[in-house]
Amino acid sequence: MCPHPMIHLNGYGDTVNAVTQTLNGLMMAAHFRESQLWIVLDDDGQYTGEMEMEIDMWRLWRPPESINEMRYDDWIKHLEDTWHG
């Protein structure tokens, strides 16, 4: 589940709906014990203030080891290694 592209494309209609849907999805995903939060960082290893709020909320429901952070280039390599073995 990756809600941020939908936000940028105005797929939810407005900011309030976008935030509400993003946090609802986050809450539903965190409900499952095996769930993990994957954070794709920019080239400088940073993320936005909005992402900080989502991470803080995730930490309310899930342990810190369920959070994975990778820079974009490392994320792409991880996906390629996973899919192509």
Tens-binned pLDDT, residue by residue, of the chain (85 aa): 666 666 666 666 777 777 787 888 888 899 998 999 988 888 788 886 678 888 888 999 999 999 999 998 898 898 899 998 7
81 token code pair: 């290694």
The structural domains of the chain, with segments of one domain joined by +, span 4-84
What pLDDT was estimated at residue 60? 92
17 token code pair: 């709906």
- Residue 33's Cβ-side half-sphere holds a number of Cα atoms within 13 Å equal to 0
Q: Can you say whether residue 5 is alpha, beta or left, with left for phi > 0 and alpha for psi between -120 and 50 degrees?
A: alpha
